[in-house]
């Protein structure tokens, strides 16, 4: 099993070249995190806990799950049980 490296940000894109970047945009009114995957597709993820800092933690968890092979739909379904 090989180590995986990626960057995550709610603010702006990573400046590291050749490293996958997960971008998040948090909507505080809807409490939803829109996640853009490194290949450009995006999906909405419900934030189980309010707050921008929790959305940041959620983005990291989503990136880890995706890097380990989970598909966006699987991640979304899992978050509904949190």
Q: Which token pair is 44?
A: 């909405």
pTM, full prediction: 0.86
At 22-78, the pLDDT tens digits run 999 999 999 999 999 999 999 999 998 899 999 999 999 999 999 999 999 999 999
- Strand locations in the chain, DSSP E? 7-9, 21-27, 32-36, 42-46
pLDDT for the residue numbered 1: 40
pLDDT for the residue 48: 84
Give the start-end residues of each E strand in 2-80: 7-9, 21-27, 32-36, 42-46
**Which residue, 32, 13, 31, is CA-closest to 23?**
13
């Amino acid at each position: 099993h090989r180590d995986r490296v990626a960057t995550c940000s709610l603010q702006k894109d990573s400046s590291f070249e050749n490293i996958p970047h997960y971008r998040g945009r948090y909507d505080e009114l809807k409490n939803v995190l829109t996640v853009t995957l490194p290949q450009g597709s995006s999906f909405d993820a419900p934030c189980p806990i309010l707050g921008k800092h929790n959305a940041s933690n959620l983005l990291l968890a989503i990136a880890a799950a995706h890097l380990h092979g989970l598909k966006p739909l699987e991640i979304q379904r899992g978050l509904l049980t949190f």
